[in-house]
A and B are shown apart, each in its own frame.
Chain A
Amino acid sequence: MKNNTILRTERLHAHYILDVYGKAKVIKAVNDVDLAIQEDEIYGIAGESGCGKSTLLKALAAAVEPPLRIISGRVTYRIAGAEVDVSTLTQEEKRKLRMEYIAYVPQGSMSVLNPVSRIRDTYRDFIESHISVHQKGEAFALAKEHLTELGLPVKILDAYPHQLSGGMRQRVTIALATLLKPRIIIGDEPTTALDVVVQRGVVQLLKDVQAKLKNTIVLVTHDMGVHANIADRIGIMYAGKIVEEAPTEKIFSAPTHPYTHYLINSLPKFGDKSPRESVPGSPPSLANLPTGCPFHPRCPHVMDICKQEMPGYTQVASNHKVACWLVGEGTHGKAA
């Protein structure tokens, strides 16, 4: 494969270090994650609630703040042909990159919009803080042009956030995040609180933006239907690890990790009422991870070795890797 990697993590570990009555409590939310996300690709991340998806995105977006800490490993961006280690950037450099190079739309981010100012003022403040505007009204003209380009009604600029429906607020937030044509857009559950019709509108907007900018979108959602519709590749996350990664069609047609299997086969389908089985047991505590493979307490195929050692990745097909002893010994990550 041609190296078009724009966003890379290498053996990334990110933990929350909390102080609980004087004792350190460590929540291992991201454990040994290797990603190589390409230019002009929509990369989806799925996994159950609390498995560390949002935390991984914070690390990717260089938005790591205490109590979250990068324990080891690196995150690199490729900027103008050169790989840049995010940890070497100054605060000012990060601020500059944010929105212009990488746009991060956090979970529940409708709050990005200031509730007491009109959308036009939020737009103006945003534009003025990033680009030099010379004439009065120039920012407004730019905002109008951008909204029109995305097919959103210009009249919303005069509205306050609470006057817009949830879906419109979410689309305005995405529009704002894409105004400066960032090379990478990171979206955390941008459609989760929305109902289906509106969700489709938001996904449509994301797709349009990506097609126009030919940039990279990293999208977290636990709605597998959204992934099926938009993602090129999917990483399945379990207990802070990417346990399987493959092109979207493969994840749906040939799920290989036992967890992915449950995830895909439990999805309800129209026209088929046959009983669906959900993943047995409960998610592990990231403060107290099981030994070996973190899925072993819930896995129907568990073997002795699973309880002792973490399996590394096995390449089951080109572009398709799985961390499970059933599939192979894997290459690295055993000690993690």
Chain B
Amino acid sequence: MEKLLEVEHLTKTFTLGSVISRVRITAVDDISFYIKPAEIFALAGESGCGKSTTARIIMGFEHATSGTIIHSGKKEAKNEKVWFTEGIQAIFQDPFATFNPLRMVEQYFFETIQNYKLAKSKREAIERIDAKLRLVGLTYEDLAGKYPSEFSGGQLQRISIARALLTDPQLIIADEPVSMVDASLRMSIVNLFKQLRDELGVSVLYITHDLATAYYVCDRIAIMFRGKIVEMGTVEQVLMAPKHPYTQLLRASIPEADTAHRWQGEIRLSDTEQDEYLRQGCRFAGRCPMVMDVCRRVTPPQFDVDGALVACHLYAETKQ
């Protein structure tokens, strides 16, 4: 099988606190996954579970403590960042923070064109910009001479996607691209990802905690909890028949836009994330309704359960 991106045994530790009370947090703990060409892959989980750290390492903004990242079969050499700058583009959470309010939005486009030498003349540049903006439902006319404050959040987010498309990337890393926009605009953005995948063969690493849109656009999904991938498979497997107790909790916590399915019962929340990061054995043990003795001592390995990977001792009888 052809793979566009392979992440193998990626680990990242941070040291927090002062000299006297130092704690080491393994924000990303030995995770492995791959993304195929023309695939939308979701990395989901609650805030602080290590999603952004993973994304930043893939983009080269941060060094891994250990592990490898392979792009189109090529291992990342320490100083060779060409593939990911051209082949990978990023979109971030807050569209307003992406653009400086004092700069005209089009300047960002011309800058990217210049940096990557994507056009020989101004006219050629404008043609390229216009073509990319059309993919997101806008035109060069719409943004010529305008400042960020003249656009809504959803428009700005689409504009940042158009800019990311300038270099014809194979992979777009979108870190919570919809968490700041409202429900109706959310759909216009995820619909755009779908269109990019289907029409241009672009892959997307969709980082989110919005599982409903993840189900809607994604092919496969990995659920992260406190630095570990606890469940991974197709969205049908993971979201329609969740196996890991954390995924089950996550799935049951999504408020469905359906008054017939209101939440039943109460849930337990963690007080601080640090405690869970430092926990021995399964990090979910403090909140897991199924917890067993072994869970508090031994970190559960990944088991193959009907084609999905599940890191939980409950599935120990199945083959590893």
Which residues of A does B touch, CB under 8 Å?
48-50, 153, 155-156, 163-168, 193-201, 203-204, 222-229, 248-249, 252-253, 262-264, 266-271, 273, 275-279, 282-283
Contacts and interface: CB of A to CB of B under 8 A. Distances in A.
Contacts of A204: 263, 266-267
Contacts, number: 139
Contacts of A226: 255
Given A197-B249, A273-B215, A249 B257 contact: no
Contacts of B201: none
20 contacts: A49-B182, A49-B185, A163-B272, A168-B272, A195-B45, A198-B47, A200-B263, A203-B255, A203-B263, A204-B263, A228-B258, A229-B256, A229-B262, A262-B184, A266-B187, A267-B183, A267-B212, A268-B187, A270-B239, A273-B216
Nearest to B181: A49
Interface residues of B, number: 46
A201 B212 contact: no
A44 B267 CA distance: 23
Given A164-B271, A273-B216, 5 more contacts: A165-B48, A198-B46, A267-B187, A276-B187, A282-B152
B140 to A, nearest CB: 17
A200 B271 contact: no
Residue in B45, B152, B250 with the greatest tally of chain A CB atoms within 10 Å = B152
Contacts of A275: 191
B270 interface: yes
Contacts of B45: 195
A223 B258 CA distance: 12
Interface in B178-236: 179, 181-188, 190-191, 209, 211-213, 215-216
B254 A225 contact: yes
B15 interface: no
A224 B257 contact: yes
A196 B253 contact: yes
B124 interface: no
A200 B253 contact: yes
A249 B267 contact: no
A153 B187 contact: no
Nearest to B216: A268
B183 A266 contact: yes
A268 B190 CA distance: 11
B20 interface: no
A165 to B, nearest CB: 6
A263 B186 CA distance: 11
A196 B211 contact: yes
A278 B184 contact: yes
Interface in B253-301: 253-259, 261-263, 266-267, 269-273
A167 B185 contact: no
Given A50-B152, A203-B255, A165 B271 contact: yes
A268 B259 contact: no
A49 B272 contact: no
Nearest to A249: B259
Contact of A225 (B215, B256, B266): B256
Given A168-B272, A229-B262, A268-B187, A196 B216 contact: no
A61 B187 CA distance: 32
Contacts of B271: 153, 155-156, 164-165, 168
Given A49-B152, A268-B216, A279-B184, A225 B255 contact: yes
Given A223-B183, A276-B187, A278-B191, A166 B258 contact: no
Contacts of A279: 184, 188
A222 B269 contact: no
Contacts of B254: 196, 225, 270
A224 B152 CA distance: 20
B153 interface: yes
A270 B259 contact: no
A114 to B, nearest CB: 19
A156 B270 CA distance: 12
Given A225-B256, A249-B259, A267-B212, A195 B47 contact: yes
A48 B188 CA distance: 13
Nearest to A204: B266
A94 to B, nearest CB: 31
Contacts of A249: 259
Contact of A197 (B154, B182, B191, B267): B267
B257 A267 contact: yes
Contacts of A225: 212, 254-257
Closest 9 CB pairs of A and B: A225-B255, A222-B182, A278-B187, A268-B216, A195-B209, A195-B46, A278-B188, A200-B253, A268-B212
Given A153-B271, A168-B271, A273-B216, A196 B259 contact: no
Which of A50, A155, A197, A277 has the most chain B CB within a 10 Å cutoff?
A: A197
Contacts of A198: 46-47, 269
A197 B273 CA distance: 13
Nearest to B270: A165
A268 B211 CA distance: 10
The residue among B181, B182, B186, B211 with the most chain A CB atoms within 10 A of its own CB is B182
A264 B184 contact: no
A248 to B, nearest CB: 5
B209 to A, nearest CB: 4
Given A48-B182, A270-B239, A278-B187, A223 B255 contact: yes
B47 to A, nearest CB: 5
